[in-house]
Amino acid sequence: MHPVEDIRGTKSGLLANKRIVVGVTGSIAAVECVRLIRELIRHGADVYVVMSKAAQEIVHPYALQFASGNHVITQITGNVEHVWFCGKTQEQADLLLIAPATANTISKVALGIDDTPVTTFATTAIGTGIPVIVVPAMHGTMFDHPVIKKHMKALADMGITVMNPRMEERSAKIPDVDEIVAETIRTVGPRTLENRKVLVISGATEEHIDDMRTISNTSTGSMGIEMAKVAHHLGADVELWLGMRSKPAPVYLPTKSFTDTASLEKMITTLKKVDIAMVPAAIADFRPKTSKGKISSKAPIDLHLTPTPKLLGKIAKKSGFTVGFKAESRVSDDVLKERAISRMKESGANLMVANDLEKVGPDRTEVLIIEGGKDLRVNKMVGTRREVAGAIWERVLECL
């Protein structure tokens, strides 16, 4: 057994039973391909590699054979490898991922030129109708060439996904591996949320005491980020709203920031209708009267806290389907369920996710998923945030 089996599916099964061909061309970004291939495998993919001659001068085929666990194709032989993987055969690949794609390769693919193994695979895949993702990587001046821009548009017009590079140090660099993997999952996955607009609101609000000090909570926004990632994987048009102190969101998720309940309420007021709203945000229940300047620390102070507006109901009025979240601490499942149901009825949410903070770990959590409607249903889920996020979306899709 090849050592690649030790990592297959260790992060998820989102690419299980998917055959992905990675086309590697002669950009220095080819050195990132070992990481990319291994990450695809960690999500369950079976990866095969085809290389141009120029790519072989940057990274040795043995390295990519080790990374993938499969023989690397470096030339088209009598075995007609391009037809075997990208023709109309029972063994055809689910995706051709050209990463990195040089300016030369992009132009050749756009013009139907196939004088390298990678471009021959591309011509065959396009003719067959196999999905193709192109990941440009080149010097910035090459990326800005009007003909290269024209050829990238031509690829997009053919239905090929052309990813945006990272523009750094005057270069169009290959995107982060996680971004490429996310686009791969989105492309070959079930796309059960395609054409649906999804809003995820996560993280904590911060209520000002004075110009320097705030009252907040310990939310990192992690659950909401996982919810948004799953929605993206399923083909949704996702927008993520995050509290200012949250963990960084992946660059491929369009993100807006909020600070306190007032700023969040203002964002909700201007919100246009969405199909689904997920609200794992830790919105403050109370806020103090704000003092201008900085309060002196030489004497004790008393803070008078007043309740903040309940925003979940306002969100529900602008959403076709709303998922609320209810957090408690050190309560029984029965009490947790009762309070979550009460909150669901008050807000008009369609589904509630409730948890006890005592049962939340660094990456594992336990939740009750409560579905409204005529027949109230309650399901308990224990797992990583990624697993719980997936389970919540499964329940939402069953309700839609």
Domains of the chain by range and CATH?
3-188 (3.40.50.1950), 197-399 (3.40.50.10300)
Q: Is 169 exposed, middle or buried (0-12, 13-18, 19+ CB in 10 A)?
A: exposed
Angstrom distance (rounded) from CA 139 to CA 56: 20
* pLDDT confidence of residue 9: 95
* pLDDT confidence of residue 180: 98
* pLDDT confidence of residue 266: 97
Angstrom distance (rounded) from CA 260 to CA 27: 46
Q: What is the DSSP string of 266-329?
A: HHHHTPPPEEEEEE--B--SEEEPPPSS---SSS-----EEEPPP-HHHHHTTEEEEEEEEEES
Structure tokens at 339: 């309070």
Q: What is the pLDDT along the chain (400 residues), one digit of tens a residue?
A: 899 999 999 999 999 999 999 999 999 999 999 999 999 999 999 999 999 999 999 999 999 999 999 999 999 999 999 999 999 998 899 999 999 999 999 999 999 999 999 999 999 999 999 999 999 999 999 999 999 999 999 999 999 999 999 999 999 999 999 999 999 999 999 999 999 999 999 999 999 999 999 999 999 999 999 999 999 999 999 999 999 999 999 999 999 999 999 999 999 999 999 999 999 999 999 999 988 999 999 999 999 999 999 999 999 999 999 999 999 999 999 999 999 999 999 999 999 999 999 998 888 899 999 998 777 899 999 999 999 999 999 999 999 9
Pick the closest to residue 171 from 142, 203, 210, 200 (CA basis).
Answer: 142
| pTM score, whole prediction | 0.92
Pick the closest to residue 69 from 134, 6, 132, 120 (CA basis).
Answer: 6
Q: Could you give phi then psi for residue 102, rounded to 5 degrees?
A: -80, 165
* pLDDT confidence of residue 373: 73
Pick the closest to residue 95 from 42, 44, 48, 163 (CA basis).
Answer: 48
Residue 278 CA, distance from chain mean position: 15
- For 88, the 3-state DSSP assignment is coil
* pLDDT confidence of residue 376: 86
Q: What is the dihedral of CA 196, 202, 207, 213, to 10 degrees?
A: -140
* pLDDT confidence of residue 271: 97
Q: Could you give phi then psi for residue 351, rounded to 5 degrees?
A: -150, 145
